[in-house]
A and B are shown apart, each in its own frame.
Chain A
């Protein structure tokens, strides 16, 4: 069944009751080029009903394009988009029944907040009075009911994005698409709104796709994260899986902080400064593999990616490699220290906050024998 029909008239207010079963969202073999540039190389993604999935990656990796294909704002050269099992590849954006929040402020400047919020309802044939009531409810949901009569230019950036969220949710769309909605906001508002989005999403049970280049953001609110690079999904998994068992060096480098240290690999273990560390075994499964680590295939000179919590600092010296403290930042309950070894390698270490290290202090460093991801030199 395609949704090649008028949008449903939603009578009762599911927004407030917080039901909704969520819709399954699938991308199958999506390919997209802009002119000669290939942006998506066959993206496959299967999102369960009610799931919150982030597309994470550096700028230019194709994450926004993937979202726009899902929204119908771009047409894929190849591949299909399925919403609730129905092929919507040829259905225009306005009939896909989606809600979308954009990176740039997208409220209609000539309409009051309440009319902005009611816009989608009016397009679905809801009567003016009823639309205004429901828009008011949706604004209450994001805590802005008292600003209904303002114009967008009278609101702060955070408030505008909240209204945009209310506007996207009020029609009870089948899927909520968030295209870096927090990137224009300052740090504190960003965290607040991020948590609020997640709370709302869990309450409404709406399938959500969130595009971001901020790994911390993605780790904090996603059920699963799809890490994208050069138009491919390198790995998809829960935040824990990505952090603890990154399948590719790209994922390891992008998700969480890593130090890149030189070592020698024999396939199963890597030797770094005389310390032997197990190599993270390559996980073999179907979802879009990019540059495969092929741990077994790599031997000889490699680079190992070490997490800061696995770098142990010994201020009193002892075994391990000697390093000089370059910078040490107090971060509340812990402290993050940047060290430089004699061979010029930069190491990031995370340790107890009361372990104070001075600039220029010479310490010795050991690496915890936790599995590391390795990649070819260069």
Chain B
């Protein structure tokens, strides 16, 4: 197919090594959830997931999962309604700001979450007074932590289309700014926007440090709590969460590639 690409053997080796890197911990976790104390294997723990006792033990996980899903929504909203329009604005109207903007947006990747929390704690004291201590307010912090990842995927889409000409063409045809952004720019940035949303969801579902240090109960912190009573339950939920993310990835990938809409 590609004469400049690596040979079939090289490709196979790379595939196997990378695959093993991901597969071994996953398989170990799967085996762990099936292994009984006497060394035999049984699906009892999976089947007993909805037993009254297990449900009671897992209650923090369900609460945390609910909180995390709300956080996902708010974080995705921040990415789509705040970051994306800002990026369009910077690229179209203030291209001279692009460097500074990129630097600022990529900063969080170099700051450890624990350092971020030191700065965030006093801010959250104020947020708590103004907006209450609801778990959803964590989304402001998550909005910052997902910035670098969301930025890269959206920018890749922006670089792939001639944003300026598309916007100017739409404006010359009588479209105002809102119509231009919603009907012309957004559909052409769809792959980037979807990828950014997916990454935001993945980051939020996997985040532990900030939630833990700010004493919010989310999916990951609940897992730690439950693990102290039942070490197998979090393993099962981890696998389910991974499956969920995998399906999400498939769905979003399909939507991004999917048939083009035939009208605005």
Contacts and interface: CB of A to CB of B under 8 A. Distances in A.
B96 to A, nearest CB: 9
A349 to B, nearest CB: 43
B53 interface: no
B187 A98 contact: no
A106 B260 CA distance: 18
A253 B172 CA distance: 35
Interface in B153-187: 161-162, 165-166, 168-176, 179, 184, 187
Interface string B10-48: 000000000000000000000000000000000000000
A111 B172 contact: no
A73 B168 contact: yes
A106 B179 contact: no
A322 to B, nearest CB: 54
Interface residues of A, number: 34
B26 to A, nearest CB: 37
Given A110-B188, A115-B263, A102 B165 contact: yes
A122 interface: yes
A156 B200 CA distance: 38
B175 A111 contact: no
A93 B262 contact: no
A158 B129 CA distance: 62
A109 B168 contact: no
B264 A106 contact: no
A123 B179 contact: yes
B261 interface: yes
A119 B162 CA distance: 18
Nearest to A73: B168
A59 interface: no
Interface in A184-229: none
B188 A123 contact: no
B169 A115 contact: no
Contacts of B260: 110, 151
Contacts of A120: 173-174
Interface of B: 161-162, 165-166, 168-176, 179, 184, 187-188, 190, 260-264
Give the 6 A-B residue pairs with the shortest CB-CB distance, closest first.
A120-B173, A123-B174, A100-B172, A106-B169, A110-B187, A93-B171
